[in-house]
Amino acid sequence: MKAFFIKQYGKRSGSIGELPEPKVGANDVLVQIKATSINPLDAKIRSGEFKQILPYTFPLILGNDLAGVVVRVGPGVRQFKPGDEVYARPAQDRIGTFAELISVDQDSLALKPHNINMEQAASLPLVALTAWQVLVETAQLKKGQKVLIHAGSGGVGSVAIQLARHLGAFVATTTSTPNVEWVKALGADIVIDYKKQDFETALNDYDVVVNSLDPVVLKKSVNCLKPGGLLVSISGPPTPEFGDAQGLSWPIKQILRLLSFRIRKISHAAGVKYSFVFMRANGAQLKEITSLVESGAIKPVIDKVYPFTSIADALTYVEQGRVKGKVVINLA
């Protein structure tokens, strides 16, 4: 099969070539991929940024989102059958959606929403699951609460705004000047143009802040929270609790303790909690998201669509950090 893979870590490593078709285990589903999408995570994995906590072997097929058609199922699979249209974010140790085929555990899959196409479906799994696990699972966001979602025009932000509105929250977000009206249309109640205004002084008494930006923004975000509020970051630094959940070695967990010490100390002093979320595959949650997509509560947001042959160009575009929503790769 054709795949985009790397043989070593590096910011510009990777090429399209031929690799063997994946094996299908008892609880696995073999999917012919029709579309995939690119996340900043893909570039970070390619460069080796996560090699201490996500130890991959080479050749490594990149890619964390898929939409496609079931080709074959393992003997233990009861939820899916050949011909089903599905979408997923594979488990972190089984990534590889930049390819014609992938073998996915059935518990990571869900049926594709019937009202969107393959490209739209491929744009959703990682960012929608991230938004769900931050807002619903971790923050337990409730109707009437106030949430600040940074980078509202990004992949996670654009979905998180829609999900937070569906949950009945009051939503603030940050973005640049050209995107102000665009994120308002997604459902944001307040939009801070970071080129003209400082969110730290404009927003206060929030229940939850969702950070996907740098440590400077993370630190400032503490000041926007009410006592007892929650600061959730998907861009780090990871916490010792994350190390425990990942089963990391004691030395690595001590490194995480040091990396997150400052923000945990600042948060504690302000009377708020800091939490790090690293999104995980979850087919059951993806089914919940499917219902929201089919009801119209969440709509996919796509910036550009590239052919598979131009996947390297698409990665470069995403790395520039100016994507509105998601960049999709069409394999069909």
Give the DSSP letter string of 48-89.
TTTTTTS---SSEE----EEEEEEEE-TT--S--TT-EEEE-
What is the residue-wise DSSP string for 146-194?
EEEESSTTSHHHHHHHHHHHHTT-EEEEEE-GGGHHHHHHHT-SEEEET
Residues 90-134 have pLDDT tens digits of 999 999 999 999 999 999 999 999 999 999 999 999 999 999 999
Q: Which CATH number fits domain 126-276: 3.40.605.10, 3.30.70.2190, 3.40.50.720, 1.10.3720.10?
A: 3.40.50.720
Instruction: Kindly indicate the confidence band of residue 137, based on its pLDDT and cuts at 50, 70 and 90.
Output: very high
CATH number attached to the domain at 2-124+300-330: 3.90.180.10
Residue spans in the chain of domains classed CATH 3.40.50.720: 126-276
**Predicted local distance difference test score (pLDDT) of residue 16:** 98
Burial 59-84 (b: 16+ CB within 10 A, else e): ebbbbbbbbbbbbebbeebebbeeeb
**Predicted local distance difference test score (pLDDT) of residue 311:** 97
Residue spans in the chain of domains classed CATH 3.90.180.10: 2-124+300-330
**Predicted local distance difference test score (pLDDT) of residue 50:** 87
Phi-psi bin for 323: left (phi > 0), alpha (psi -120 to 50), beta?
A: beta
Q: Is 90 exposed, middle or buried (0-12, 13-18, 19+ CB in 10 A)?
A: buried
Burial 213-243 (b: 16+ CB within 10 A, else e): beeebbbbbbbbbbeebbbbbbbbbbbbebb
| Closest residue by Cα to residue 325 from 174, 166, 152, 89 | 152
Instruction: Kindly indicate the confidence band of residue 157, based on its pLDDT and cuts at 50, 70 and 90.
Output: very high
Cα–Cα distance for residue pair 301/158, rounded to 1 Å: 7
Q: Are 100 and 138 in contact (CB under 8 A)?
A: no
Phi, psi of 101 (to 5 degrees): -135, 150
Reply yes or no on whether the pLDDT at 54 is more than 90: no
The answer, as to whether pTM is greater than 0.95, is: yes
Please give the C-alpha separations between residue 64 and each of 36, 142, 143, 210, 217, in angstroms, as whole numbers.
8, 29, 31, 21, 26
Please give the C-alpha separations between residue 231 and each of 153, 284, 323, in angstroms, as whole numbers.
20, 26, 24
